Every structure is written in C-alpha cells, then in structure tokens.
Amino acid sequence: MPMKDGNPEIKAHQAVYGALKDLDSETTRRVLSSVLALLGMTESSISSAATPAATTAHEVRSASSASISSRPVSLIELMQDKGPKTNAERITLFAYYREKTEGFQRFERRDLEPYFAKAKLPPASNYGRDFVEAVKRGWIHEDGADSYLTSKGVEAVESGFAGEPKRRHAGTSAKSKGGKARSSKARKSSRKRSR
C-alpha cells in the first residue's frame, strides 16, 4: 500500500535523515542521544528497533562501552559513590535508588526500611525518627502510600549530600572545651555554680 506524501512519519524520516546525513558517526550518536533525552526516552526504550551492525573496531568498542555504562548501579555501589553519613541520608538514598534503578516512584514509609539489609547495613535503631528527619529536610514528601522523593532529595543524593549540616541525634552528650563529654550531673553542677 503506497504511503501518502503528507504522512507525518515519512516527513519525520526525511527531516532526520537530512539533518544527520553529513555528520560523522560520533556526532550523529551525540545528536540522537540529545534528542532522545529531550523526548524523555532512552536508547534502551527503542532497542526493539532494528539497528545496523557495527562494522569497524571503533564502532564495536563504542557499542561495548555503551552497554557497560547502561548497566544498572547496585545499591552498594551507589552507597559507596554518594557516601551518606546519617540514616536520614541513607533513607533518602534508598528512595532515590528505588526510583532511578527499580522504577518505583511512590512508596510508604515502611517500604524503605528493608534497604538497610539490602545495603548490608545494620537496621536503623530508630527508623521512624530517621525517616521523619529526611522529611523535615525536604528530601522526602510523606503522604502514606503516595510518598515520594522530592527534587531537593534528588539534588542532595546526586551531590553526595555536599553542604548538608551533620546533625547530632538526641541523646548525644555535649562536649566540654577539653573535648570530653560532660555528664548531666556535671552540667547541673556547673549551672548551680554560675548562679
């Protein structure tokens, strides 16, 4: 069945071909990758389309490099790369991992708790407090089963939590000028003397 000249698919093919025909293979790859990103697509999402076989050693190496870079990152690799220091940061990283690697954008508070074991970490001693801390910092929006990682949370993880102040947990004792922890008895005694 012949196609009509006004067919939008034919026009798109002609426009793309006309734009790319004079470019070298590396520039063509970059342009196509950029266009896919602008369209919200990835190369793997169109992998069912037929592609010509690589014919040169350079093209074979490029194809091999692309397949290695498209491998998913494990949770432990992500932890090592981003270096979260607190449980609130770890919980935020777990939400990031669920979204970016596993494809789950929504979660409940309890859905992230098993990721401590997946990351080969001991369980959080006060998971609820740590989750609430991530919410207070604006990294996670809590809404029951529709909780999600915020844009601020994505930025925090991707920056490796750079510039985030490290907060002490409740119960951490204050340090005196000499660097030793003071007991509550010593603090009370100090207050009485200052009166």
Highest mean pLDDT among 12-16, 50-54, 121-125, 181-185: 121-125
Report phi then psi at 89, rounded to 5.
-65, -40
In this structure, what token pair is assigned to residue 2?
């012949």
Give the tens place of pLDDT for each residue, 68-104: 567 888 999 999 999 999 999 999 999 999 999 999 9
Residue 168 has pLDDT above 70, yes or no: no
Within a domain: 82: yes
Per the prediction, the chain carries an average pLDDT of 77
Q: Based on the structure, what is the number of domains in the chain?
A: 2
Give the tens place of pLDDT for each residue, 40-77: 666 655 554 444 444 455 554 555 555 556 788 899 99
Within a domain: 50: no
- pLDDT band at residue 176 under the 50/70/90 scheme: very low
Give the tens place of pLDDT for each residue, 9-31: 777 767 877 887 887 777 777 77
Report phi then psi at 120, rounded to 5.
60, 40
Which structural domain range is residue 20 located in? 9-42
107: region left, alpha or beta (phi > 0 left; psi from -120 to 50 alpha): beta
Within a domain: 20: yes
Question: Comparing 134 with 55, which gets the higher pLDDT?
Answer: 134
**79 shares its domain with 31:** no
**38 shares its domain with 84:** no
The CB density around residue 59, as the number of other CB atoms within 10 Å, is 15
163: region left, alpha or beta (phi > 0 left; psi from -120 to 50 alpha): left
Within a domain: 29: yes
